[in-house]
Chain A
Amino acid sequence: MAELAARAILLLVCVLLGWGVVRQFMVVKAATMALDHLAIVPQWKFFAQQKIDGNPEAFDDFHLLVRTGRADAEPGEWHDLLYYGERRLRHALWNPRHGSRSLIMHHGALLTWTEPERAAQPSALSYLTVLRFCLDRTALEPGEVLQFAVAITCGRTARNPRLRFLSAWHCP
């Protein structure tokens, strides 16, 4: 009986591995993303998602910008609230903020996506996540409101930001 169970597990492992090979070359749908996230049939396309091919903005840097304003005055200047600066050597060993920062950036990037074939789509959750982050990090005085934007820049040469998403004005 134990041997039979072990053989069944071995068969399951073979099936999952075979499925895994095939799945590497498929576009994963949102509905089956859990198989990837739970490492049951994971995809291992590091930096090789189909979307990067022929996309000149595939590796552009995202910037989360905020500005504040009042109803009776011109809005203030844009400020970089979240962006990637120069990498530090210690990040090779200790980089605890990588996950949370990437997740906020992921939500910001999602807001700029418009193609319907993507597995993930812009959502109210992404908007609220970025908005909360901005409100947490910006000291607003009474009567002040805040607006955020997602912009992109290219590498170390083309540093002029290009706007990709603009929020409404919000108060805390």
Chain B
Amino acid sequence: MIASEALLRASCGLLGLFGLLRGAQWLADLPRWAAGGALGWDLQGLRRGIKGRSALLARTYAPTGLRILAILLMLDSALLLTLPLGAITLALLAAALVLILLLGQRSIPDGADKMATIVASGALLQALGVMAGNHTLVLAGGLWTGGQLTIAYFAAGASKLVLADWRSGVAPRGALSSYMWGSKLSAWGVSKSGAAFVLGWTVMLLETLFPLALLLPAPWLMVVLAGFFLFHAVIALVMGLNTYPWAFLAAYPATIWLGQALRAALALG
């Protein structure tokens, strides 16, 4: 059985990798979010609701505020990646949670932002539990992150299964032959007879059946997760969604922990 501390350390390190990449990408793209531009907060702040009315957010989302947020996320992530577990981990995880949330809300948060938010909050609960010697909190944190990852894969598969266009292969062919979501290679691949159909069913079945993998012994669960990481890497290559592999990878240690806890609870060895 892999110890909670080791898995928590891995979560922190992997979240750090995601944060470094996310922060660096924000810094590289800052000119597009400048005031006076299409995505400047002077215009985007006109949206309805709390976000648009908050004077604090207006300052935070001004170019200088955004730059500070991105730099802070990179610094925080570098420390999460390098420092051993300790009391400071709590502060670093709390800061990562706030920074990822704030930067995500500046735009429309994508799945990677949402998963990273979940990893940060779950790891925070687990770290609190480890520091305080409270197993219930460790359980809550592991269940939150591992549970959300399991729901994510299951829902991604099941919601495709109920759509006729996915079952027939029309949807994967459409997505992978577009410029927006595909590439030259994927368009060529799905143009072959039956390829989109087989690909679609492979993805749907693997995703829908993922919850069963939690019942596997840890080494086998790790093999399954390695396969899913490869899947994310291929998606990054084909669709350009390059932050997803790191955000989802950061949720794997908690998922391994959850699998172990589930097997122990069910007396599976």
Chain A residues engaging chain B, CB cutoff 8 angstroms: 2-3, 6-7, 9-10, 13-14, 16-17, 20-21, 24-25, 36-39, 42-48, 50, 52-55, 58-62, 83-87, 89, 91-100, 103-106, 125, 128-130, 132-133, 136, 154-156
Contacts and interface: CB of A to CB of B under 8 A. Distances in A.
B39 to A, nearest CB: 6
B106 to A, nearest CB: 9
B165 A53 contact: yes
Interface string B18-54: 0000001110110011000111100110110000000
Interface of B: 24-26, 28-29, 32-33, 37-40, 43-44, 46-47, 101, 104-105, 107-111, 113-115, 117-118, 121, 125, 129, 132, 134, 136-137, 139-140, 143-144, 147-148, 151-156, 158-160, 162-166, 171, 174-175, 177-184, 187, 233, 236-242
Contacts of A44: 111, 151-153, 155-156, 159
Given A10-B136, A20-B148, A100-B33, A132 B38 contact: yes
A136 to B, nearest CB: 6
A136 B37 contact: yes
A14 B179 CA distance: 40
A141 B46 CA distance: 29
A156 B182 CA distance: 10
A105 B178 CA distance: 15
B180 A39 contact: no
A104 B140 contact: no
Contact of B178 (A9, A61, A98, A103): A61
A95 B134 contact: no
20 contacts: A3-B134, A17-B144, A20-B148, A21-B151, A24-B155, A38-B117, A39-B101, A44-B111, A47-B160, A59-B171, A91-B236, A91-B240, A93-B236, A94-B242, A97-B32, A100-B33, A104-B39, A105-B180, A155-B177, A156-B179
A89 B233 CA distance: 12
B238 A87 contact: yes
A99 B29 contact: yes
Shortest Cβ-Cβ A-B pairs, 5 listed: A59-B174, A133-B38, A24-B155, A6-B136, A96-B25
Greatest chain B CB density within 10 A among A37, A39, A60 is at: A39
A61 B163 CA distance: 21
Contacts of B24: 96
Contacts of B109: 37, 39
B114 A52 contact: no
A47 B175 contact: yes
Given A13-B140, A39-B114, 20 more contacts: A2-B134, A9-B136, A14-B143, A20-B147, A20-B151, A25-B155, A38-B117, A46-B111, A48-B163, A58-B165, A59-B181, A62-B180, A86-B183, A87-B238, A95-B240, A97-B32, A99-B25, A125-B46, A130-B38, A136-B37
Contacts of B183: 86-87
A122 to B, nearest CB: 13
A89 B237 contact: yes
B165 A52 contact: yes
Given A92-B240, A95-B240, A104-B39, A6 B129 contact: yes
Contacts of A3: 134, 136
Given A45-B155, A125-B47, A58 B174 contact: yes
A134 to B, nearest CB: 8
B179 A85 contact: yes
